[in-house]
């Protein structure tokens, strides 16, 4: 049995409905191995399939430019819910809901939540359909369960790498969070955005663990990066070209602030914010990253220079204190 629902029927329906002749298929890294199989399905439905082999980590990274460049008349984007308000190319979002059960992992998580009475829930779009069951399991274990909905994302309790509004909206009501999903990435986001103890129930590995120590490590590292960036004479401001990560106006405002501080600012545009790309500019002392804020937080050890989020830069510019940054969030708007 497949681990995800690829909704193959909807592909055929959409191609027929639009009369699409050329389809660009975009999948996040974990789903890419299925691309050749899905390409054959698209071809059988009467359209030419082209698979994007570029990395993709979110619906912010929608391959609209590539679709335009290849004259595709339909873009099929797997693994993320809709994020951008408008797409320049007709786009079918297929969320790739996970088919595996989460019970085993949640059972293992319960003992790790023993110190807390009120627990908030969080998950990715792959597992939003399990939240009712998870809630019941926790209620049976004697917990009061809260699921937040800040109305910015399609589903209550859902989090994405850069938007933790749903958990922040209930953070003051709960003592801890349970994140249901794979890996540490989203769970760390919950812990960093709320400052609350956070436990992962990973249905892929059928494991449960706390991410609190790792979140503390990241916070210490961020403080060190901010201190180092405060001494920088030349600051680079990074502008992404990804449609949901392009913040040129913010970058221009940050450039003006840097210059008011009598430092030098250089704007850099790039498709992927990679450590190797920044190593080409040895005279730049630190960077402010207006692209995906998680690049700053999660990849810090790979960068040779500090790469601050826009919010972290506010500490360097003197607009925020470190304490108010922690309260407002290191990386969210």
Q: Which of 29, 136, 173, 205 binds a copy of itself (CB under 8 A)?
A: 29
Q: Which of 112, 219, 248, 300 binds a copy of itself (CB under 8 A)?
A: 248
CB of 74 to a copy of itself, least distance (A): 14
Site for a copy of itself in 280-319 (CB under 8 A): 280-284
Nearest CB to a copy of itself, comparing residues 249 and 319? 249
CB of 77 to a copy of itself, least distance (A): 14
Q: Which of 51, 150, 300, 326 binds a copy of itself (CB under 8 A)?
A: 51
What secondary structure does DSSP assign to 58-84, as a single string?
A: SGGG--HHHHHHTT-SEEEEESS---S
Question: Please, is 28 exposed, middle or buried when counting C-beta atoms within 10 Å of its C-beta (0-12, 13-18, 19+)?
Answer: middle
The bridge status of strand 207-210 relative to strand 198-202 is antiparallel
Q: Which of 21, 69, 88, 327 binds a copy of itself (CB under 8 A)?
A: 69
Contact 59, 77 (CB under 8 A): yes
Q: Which of 3, 10, 18, 70 binds a copy of itself (CB under 8 A)?
A: 70
Q: Which of 144, 210, 264, 317 binds a copy of itself (CB under 8 A)?
A: 264
By CB under 8 A, tell whether 167 contacts a copy of itself: no
3-state secondary structure of 210: strand
Q: Which of 50, 128, 187, 201 binds a copy of itself (CB under 8 A)?
A: 50
Instruction: Tell me how far apart the alpha carbons of residues 177 and 171 are, in angstroms, rounded to a whole number.
Output: 9
Residue length of the chain = 333
Rounded alpha-carbon distances, angstroms, from residue 310 to 152, 292, 306: 20, 10, 12
By CB under 8 A, tell whether 141 contacts a copy of itself: no
Instruction: Tell me how far apart the alpha carbons of residues 333 and 331 are, in angstroms, rounded to a whole number.
Output: 7
Secondary structure letter of residue 27 according to DSSP: -
CB of 167 to a copy of itself, least distance (A): 30
Please name the residue that has the structure tokens 């998950």. 123
Nearest CB to a copy of itself, comparing residues 201 and 239? 239
Task: Count the alpha carbons within 13 Å of 119 in the hemisphere toward its beta carbon.
Answer: 30
Site residues for a copy of itself per CB under 8 A = 24, 29, 32-33, 35-37, 39-40, 48-55, 65-66, 69-70, 234, 238-239, 241, 246, 248, 252, 264, 266-272, 276-278, 280-284
């Amino acid at each position: 049995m497949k681990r995800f629902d690829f909704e193959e029927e909807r592909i055929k329906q959409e191609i027929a409905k639009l009369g699409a002749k050329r389809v660009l298929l975009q999948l996040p890294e974990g789903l890419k191995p299925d691309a050749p199989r899905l390409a054959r399905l698209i071809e059988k439905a009467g359209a030419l399939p082209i698979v994007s082999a570029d990395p993709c980590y979110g619906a912010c990274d929608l391959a609209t430019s590539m679709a335009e460049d290849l004259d595709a008349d339909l873009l099929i984007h797997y693994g993320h819910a809709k994020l951008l308000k408008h797409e320049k190319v007709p786009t079918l979002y297929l969320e790739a809901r996970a088919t595996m059960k989460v019970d085993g992992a949640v059972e293992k998580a319960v003992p790790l939540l023993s110190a807390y009475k009120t627990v908030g829930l969080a998950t990715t779009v792959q597992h939003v359909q399990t939240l009712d069951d998870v809630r019941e399991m926790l209620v049976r274990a004697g917990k009061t369960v809260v699921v937040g909905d800040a109305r910015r994302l399609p589903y209550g309790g859902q989090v994405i790498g850069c938007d933790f509004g749903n958990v922040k909206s209930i953070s003051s009501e709960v003592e801890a969070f349970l994140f249901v999903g794979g890996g540490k990435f989203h769970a760390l986001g919950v812990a960093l955005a709320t400052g609350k103890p956070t436990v992962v129930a990973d249905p892929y590995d059928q494991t449960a663990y706390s991410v609190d120590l790792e979140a503390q490590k990241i916070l210490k590292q961020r403080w060190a990066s901010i201190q180092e960036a405060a001494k920088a004479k030349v600051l680079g401001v990074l502008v992404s070209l990804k449609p949901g990560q392009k913040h040129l106006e913010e970058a221009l405002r940050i450039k003006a602030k840097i210059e008011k501080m009598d430092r030098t600012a250089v704007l850099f545009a790039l498709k992927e914010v990679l450590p190797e790309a920044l190593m080409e500019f040895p005279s730049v002392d630190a960077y402010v990253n207006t692209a995906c804020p998680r690049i700053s937080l999660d990849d810090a050890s790979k960068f040779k220079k500090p790469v601050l989020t826009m919010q972290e830069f506010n500490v360097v510019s003197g607009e925020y204190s470190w304490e108010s940054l922690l309260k407002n969030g290191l990386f969210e708007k």
